[in-house]
């Protein structure tokens, strides 16, 4: 639902703008859960695991590139986030 998407986006944005927030978000997205690892191993590992890693990296890029609504400007957002990267 829309309200849940907005709430998650707001919480994610708050986390990104904190000190070491980018690192925390990147780690959270990139670290695989046991279920993902098991599915990749059972399902043939190679290509599926690589695709899973690629999707995670793509998700991180989209998260970092999106300017949160609570920021005053795109420049202000990048000024806060870029030094963390």
pLDDT tens per residue across span 12-30: 889 998 999 999 988 888 8
Give long-range contacts, CB 8 A cutoff, 24+ apart: 24-33: 25/60, 25/63, 26/60, 29/56, 29/59, 29/60, 29/63, 30/56, 30/57, 30/60, 32/56
pLDDT at 23: 93
Indicate yes or no: pTM above 0.75: no
Chain centre to alpha carbon of residue 27:
8
Place of tokens 């793509």: 58
Percentage with pLDDT > 70 across the chain = 75
Going by pLDDT thresholds of 50, 70 and 90, the confidence category of residue 33 is: low
């Amino acid at each position: 639902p829309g309200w849940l998407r907005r709430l998650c986006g707001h919480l994610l944005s708050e986390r990104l703008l904190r000190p070491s927030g980018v690192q925390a978000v990147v780690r959270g997205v990139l670290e695989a859960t046991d279920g993902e690892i098991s599915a990749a191993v059972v399902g043939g590992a190679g290509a599926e695991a690589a695709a899973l890693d690629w999707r995670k990296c793509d998700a991180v890029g989209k998260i970092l590139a999106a300017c949160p609504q609570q920021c005053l400007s795109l420049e202000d957002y990048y000024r806060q986030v870029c030094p963390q990267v």
